[in-house]
A and B are shown apart, each in its own frame.
Chain A
Amino acid sequence: MVKKREIAVSVNGARYAIEVRINDTLLDVLRDGLGLTGTKEGCAAGDCGACTVLLGGKAVNACLVLAVEADGAGVMTVEGLAQGEELDPVQQGFVQEGAVQCGFCTPGMLMSAKGLLRENPCPTETEVRRAIAGNLCRCTGYVRIVRAIMSASASAVSGHDLRGER
């Protein structure tokens, strides 16, 4: 018998008291327990970033966090970005720039972008690239993703040249 624990977590602003197996990952519980299947599993080894969520406001790989470790913490997943019908600026940026192809990497990319912009609203292109270094995309070649994140940032608003910087 696998031991279970009750944990209290806030996910996308909603509070939950849920029973989890001690060896469930946060990713398992988000997807299978709470039905939040936006967060993806690619590698289960920290390499691909498809499982990226914000834990306590910081981008982390949900495949490397035990659900019991999240007890008492706040989690934000891709489902928490939009406010009703209104997309988050990072989502808006991805739509505008056509930064989505198959879409498997997109939730993780969006959360890495969100994590970056929370701390650094006005990043350079180099900083954007560093922020998504742990997110693999097999389709887009990253150029449009970088543009999308730049366009969602305050760098765009302040007239920063999106295409010029190397």
Chain B
Amino acid sequence: MSALHIKKGSTSHSAYNLRPNFSDVQERHTIAVLVENEPGVLARVIGLFSGRGYNIESLTVAEVDHTGHLSRITIVTTGTPQVIEQIKAQLGRIIPVHEVHDLTVEGPAVERELAILKVVGDGDKRVEALRLADIFRANVVDSTLGSFIFEITGAPDKIDAFAELMRPLGLAEIARTGVAALLRGE
């Protein structure tokens, strides 16, 4: 035994450091997945993310080609470059998945999200909310004497910014659709 110089005892390295030769910078990617519109396909995609411990920042899905039975799922996710590669490869393994596109890599892409926000308040706050909504090109889609519902479309950070401004003005509820995205140009 000893002649073989087999090291014993502890090691300074963590056994959990599973990916030492991969970068650990977190990146945000928008991935478009074209899937057959069949029952359970969304569960497969979501199950993949939860089962393998990937992040979902937002996810939208709707049928985009009625005759071809195709739906488009847009997923915004974060992870190291290696995890992002894995996510795409794993998505590609799902049988009803036809295409996987990393819009962040293939881009530039246009990203849009729709949000509706209920702002409750009166007096100056109400006036200020309306003024800001105008600046952000948000529409009033419902109003009562004590509340507004604004509709706003834009990139997610624009919606974040608008929501942040509405918070002190009486933001009561917000509903967001998640990101829809398309590559620019032809």
A binds B: no
**A residues bordering B, Cβ < 8 Å?**
none
